[in-house]
């Protein structure tokens, strides 16, 4: 039996080389695709990607300048890193969420809970 496995091993390894690449749709290796710079999908997502909890900033959204603050960073049930961004202040403060995508960028996501933290 071990001789049979050893005899078939070169054939199995050769077959692996003929499998399609797991890279991007253009056939590029995954490492090349992952290394390409990724543009955030919104100004809010761009802020979430680089801010640390408690950091404040300003984003232009829909032609209006908004004051923002990164609230918390957490792992979602999906396993993705998500970041809560608080817009405005005081009683008008509202939360939005941005989560890391498979390509490493952040994009806005629908919050699971509304009105609480």
Amino acid 100: pLDDT: 95
What average pLDDT does this structure show over 85-101? 92
Mean pLDDT, the chain, whole residue set: 74
Residue in 116, 104, 112 with CA at minimum distance from that of residue 41: 104
Task: For the chain, give the longest Cα–Cα distance.
Answer: 75
Q: What are 72-90's pLDDT values in tens digits?
A: 999 999 999 999 999 988 8
Who wins on pLDDT, 84 or 19?
84
pTM for the structure as a whole: 0.61
Tokens 């008008």, located at residue: 92
Joined together, the tokens standing for residue 43 give 């100004």
pLDDT > 90: percent of the chain: 44
Amino acid 62: pLDDT: 82
């Amino acid at each position: 039996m071990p001789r049979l496995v050893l005899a078939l091993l070169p054939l199995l390894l050769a077959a692996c080389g003929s499998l399609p690449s797991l890279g991007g749709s253009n056939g590029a290796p995954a490492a090349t695709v992952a290394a390409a710079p990724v543009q955030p999908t919104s100004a809010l997502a761009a802020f979430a990607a680089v801010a640390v909890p408690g950091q404040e900033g300003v984003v232009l959204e829909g032609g209006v300048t908004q004051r923002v603050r990164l609230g918390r960073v957490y792992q979602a049930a999906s396993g993705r890193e998500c970041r809560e961004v608080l817009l405005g202040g005081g009683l008008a403060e509202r939360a939005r969420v941005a989560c890391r995508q498979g390509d490493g960028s952040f994009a806005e996501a629908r919050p699971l809970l509304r009105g609480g933290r």
